[in-house]
Amino acid sequence: MVQVDIFWSYAIGSSFALSAFRQLRKITRENPPKTNDFNWRDFRRMVREIEHGGAAFHNPYFLKTLLFLSLLFVPSGAVLLWSNPEWETMQVGRYETIPGWLVGAFTITNVTQGILGYWVTYNLLMKGKYFRAALQVVLSYFGFWFILVNGWDKTGYRRFFSRSRGEFENWRPSNVFRWLSSDVVRILLFFGIGFIPLMLYWTSKWLMEGAINKGIIEPLTPAERKSRMLKISGKLLGAVAGTTLGLAICSTALIRKLGWVAGTAASAAFIYAVVFRDGSLARRLTEEIMMVDTLEVPCVLEG
């Protein structure tokens, strides 16, 4: 659970920035920074932007990202960690041996990783590197699913579907049915029903509004807006729950079949074909979801 949330929070921050890319570029043009370097590694610049209200952080999209992470995402992880100390990652240790600072670090990274994902993606978008920006979402969700499916010891899915250490150590497929009636599932559903629809609502709304303001989509009636947002949400779900999960499952199968070295090499080749090469599925999905003709444009301050 701890490792998963690090990837997931990064993906949330990245996806929110990516969804509002047209709006963020417009805000940055209207309030240009002192430098057009847009180096995401310059964390001193990040601090200055936060302190002085720079375009990257002084906008409603970052505010909603921060509120989402702190008010919804952090509580979900904290509740799961406290109420189910023998689920997933916690099966490695015991409740009595967990230092308090580790719990604090876990909750903090659920926010800081999201801010980092937003910051890296924002800078790539300002540079016009749309595909590299989209990769922040794709690869972080791949990491999220890979930890769940494979983990660090090829037992990720067993840990996920075992509600206690004893069930994990005595794994049987029937564990899944007992897990479905566990407190873990009830908590996941409670928070999932609350924040996953909100994620999809915001991301699809921002993508649609950006396209309308740019003239790519004609003004829509309220009913047409809802229909368009549902279609965009479907594409987003397909990319996350289909493409990235599929990559994680295939990578896990290759590693289990061929071993870590050969399996990782085969997995890397497969991921390259699906994600990185020209005309790949990931590139086509990115163009379709972002509603762009090209995945590389001039820097925001140049065009």
* Assigned token pair, 249: 């499952």
Q: Report yes or no on 295 lying in a domain.
A: no
d(CA 261, CA 248): 16
The percent of residues in the chain predicted with pLDDT above 70, rounded, is 95
Confidence grade of residue 89 (pLDDT, cut at 50, 70, 90):
low
Give the C-alpha distances (Å, rounded to integers) separating 109 from 62, 71, 77. 17, 14, 11
- Is 296 within the bounds of a domain? no
Instruction: Confirm whether 299 is domain-assigned.
Output: no
Q: Specify whether the CB–CB gap between 121 and 14 falls below 8 A.
A: yes
Lowest-confidence range among 14-28, 100-114, 246-260, 279-293? 100-114
Per-residue pLDDT at 1 exceeds 60: no
Distance in angstroms (rounded) separating the CA atoms of residues 88 and 81? 10
Mean pLDDT of 219-241: 94
How many structural domains compose the chain? Answer: 1
pTM: 0.93
The model's pLDDT over 239-281, given as tens digits with 9 standing for 90+, comes to 998 999 999 999 999 999 999 999 999 999 999 999 999 999 9
Contact 124, 132 (CB under 8 A): yes
Q: Domain range holding 83?
A: 2-290
Please name the amino acid found at residue 148. Answer: L
In which residue are the tokens 């965009």 written? 232
Burial class (CB in 10 A: 0-12, 13-18, 19+), 235: middle
Report if residue 124 sits inside a domain. yes
- Helix (H/G/I), strand (E/B), else coil: 296: strand
Residue 284 in any domain: the answer is yes
Task: Look at residue 301 and tell me if it is in a domain.
Answer: no
Q: With the C-alpha atoms ordered 121, 125, 131, 134, is the resulting torsion angle positive or negative?
A: positive
Q: What whole-number distance in Å separates Cα of residue 303 and Cα of residue 301? A: 6
> What's the length of the chain?
303
Q: Is residue 215 part of a domain?
A: yes
Please tell me the predicted confidence (pLDDT) of residue 87.
74
Lowest mean pLDDT among 44-53, 88-97, 191-200: 88-97
Percent with pLDDT over 90 in the chain: 61
| N-terminal to C-terminal alpha carbon distance within the chain | 43
Let me know if residue 303 belongs to a domain: no
* pLDDT tens-digit series, residues 45-67: 888 888 888 899 999 999 999 99
Listed in sequence order, the DSSP H helices in 214-244 are: 222-237
